[in-house]
A and B are shown apart, each in its own frame.
Chain A
């Protein structure tokens, strides 16, 4: 469905968009068949990359598209985790799903804020790029620190 959203407005690149969507689907299927999260994440990366093939409303669509990608990644990996389990407490599925949807919604809102910030920002300049790079590094460092603490 995400691939169809891109291919619907891909213009001359519609074949490439459908190819990308097909490749992403294949990677997802391989990941589920092999019970490995790596192909699932690669498929999500491909789906994210083909958004650039869309001609219009990319920035408008990006927050929801990102939320969709997050749901695809999480649901794919969750199904792999639950494979080979003898008994599943129904509460565990509902709880995880609820938390996932809630945090994805927060992420979509954050993405929307980021899109608004990008829309209001001046055109690309060295200062803006440097600020973006510092912010990216700071976010990654903060997350790495949190991971190490745990």
Chain B
């Protein structure tokens, strides 16, 4: 690769040449003598210029991080040539990664030397990011010529969203015949006491409740509620978001979805995911830690994909929405398509709860005199929408990123208890 003549050297060459020409034109030999050091400098620089042979590699001590954690990137640069070189290093990185130092690093590489530089990497946000390759501006020892190249490979960094601890979840209406952590309403084998009844043929002897039997003078058995699992489908709205600077509703929505997924999977529920937006992605419901990592990996690639395409419930495969599943829609309720989807699912009889990621924290009224009034009208519209959804039997948990999710879900549970009969209908 040919090096480029540095602007500095071009300027010195122009000064030297200009001095010679001026000396000839004006007849003043002093100008030629003034120009001599410049020309000597340029000549010696070009004569000594050698293209540096460099190799580099980038090593991260951790490639999986939580938001806010730091990783150390060790950049190793090797000069394979027997000439010294000056190197200006910059590390390419994804938008949401912060490097320390953020600006380029200037190093002097002796002949056949190896230098290692540590750069701190701090992610601002969850996602699938990358560090590298190295952007190198290499100069010979006299800095006459510059060679630009990219060295090293890109290293992937996965940053997982910070999750909250949830003590209470939205209680599903219907259970599935799998062992889980929810107390079912039916009566079968279990731990939670349900009722006692007279002994019948076929009852197991260890079910006999001796106290009740002694009190009533005939054999009575204990009935219990079984511990059952439920199907939960997390519906993430990626049609639109409200964003102010580095923070937006999608960031909070992904954190909430990851929190809900982990909490439900810990209770042995089957959890699926639907990323409903400009692009449609889904994961069928499944159990266990493997499913949790699948969900989080899918969430890391979530982004707002602008699209005019009208998507409806028919776009979602049936096997992703099992009958009787609890659907948790995490949405800022900004796009008409997501609102229509939510109401459509409810009208089809799905057990649905909306976790509204409030866009108010990322929205401020404009400077015009009418803007505060428009902002209030918009807030009233959102309140009316919330009331309409609740009128359809959809519990709405309003949540901001700076708050804990638990109290919002408790409010929804209270709503669902009071509306249980309408929901079951």
**Taking beta carbons and an 8 Å cutoff, which residues of A are in contact with B?**
37-38, 40-41, 44-45, 48-49, 51-52, 58-59, 62-63, 65-67, 69-70, 73-74, 77, 81-82, 84-89, 91-92, 95-96, 99, 103-104, 106-108, 110-111, 114-115, 118, 124, 129, 132-133, 136, 139-140, 142-143, 146-147, 149-150
Chain A: CB-nearest residue to B49 = A150
0 or 1 for each of B308-331: is its CB under 8 Å from A? (1 = yes): 000000000000000000000000
User: Is the beta-carbon distance between B15 and A136 smaller than 8 angstroms?
Assistant: no
Which residues of chain B from 30 to 65 have a CB within 8 Å of any chain A CB?
Answer: 30-47, 49
**Taking beta carbons and an 8 Å cutoff, which residues of B are in contact with A?**
2-3, 5, 7-9, 11-15, 17-24, 26-47, 49, 84, 86, 88, 101-108, 117, 141-145
Closest CB in chain B relative to A42 CB, distance in Å:
9
User: Is the beta-carbon distance between B35 and A150 smaller than 8 angstroms?
Assistant: no
Q: Kindly state the separation between the CA atoms of A104 and B38 in the bound complex, as whole angstroms.
A: 8
Q: Kindly state the separation between the CA atoms of A124 and B29 in the bound complex, as whole angstroms.
A: 10
Closest CB in chain B relative to A124 CB, distance in Å:
6
Between A and B, 23 residue pairs with Cβ closer than 8 Å are: A41-B12, A44-B15, A51-B30, A51-B31, A52-B26, A52-B28, A58-B30, A59-B29, A62-B33, A63-B33, A66-B33, A84-B104, A85-B105, A86-B105, A92-B108, A103-B142, A106-B40, A107-B41, A114-B33, A132-B23, A133-B24, A139-B39, A146-B46
Closest CB in chain A relative to B100 CB, distance in Å:
8
User: Is the beta-carbon distance between A118 and B88 smaller than 8 angstroms?
Assistant: no
User: Is the beta-carbon distance between B145 and A150 smaller than 8 angstroms?
Assistant: yes
For the complex, would chain B's binding face be called helix, strand, loop or mixed by DSSP majority? helix
User: Is the beta-carbon distance between A139 and B20 smaller than 8 angstroms?
Assistant: yes
Closest CB in chain B relative to A143 CB, distance in Å:
6
Q: Kindly state the separation between the CA atoms of A41 and B35 in the bound complex, as whole angstroms.
A: 13
A-B contact count (CB 8 A): 171
User: Is the beta-carbon distance between A129 and B24 smaller than 8 angstroms?
Assistant: yes
Q: Kindly state the separation between the CA atoms of A86 and B86 in the bound complex, as whole angstroms.
A: 15
User: Is the beta-carbon distance between A38 and B104 smaller than 8 angstroms?
Assistant: no
Q: Known contacts A51-B34, A66-B34, A88-B106: does B17 contact A103 (CB below 8 Å)?
A: no
Closest 3 CB pairs of A and B: A107-B37, A86-B101, A86-B103
Of the residues B14, B21, B86, contact of A41 by C-beta under 8 Å: B14
Of the residues A91, A108, A150, contact of B46 by C-beta under 8 Å: A150
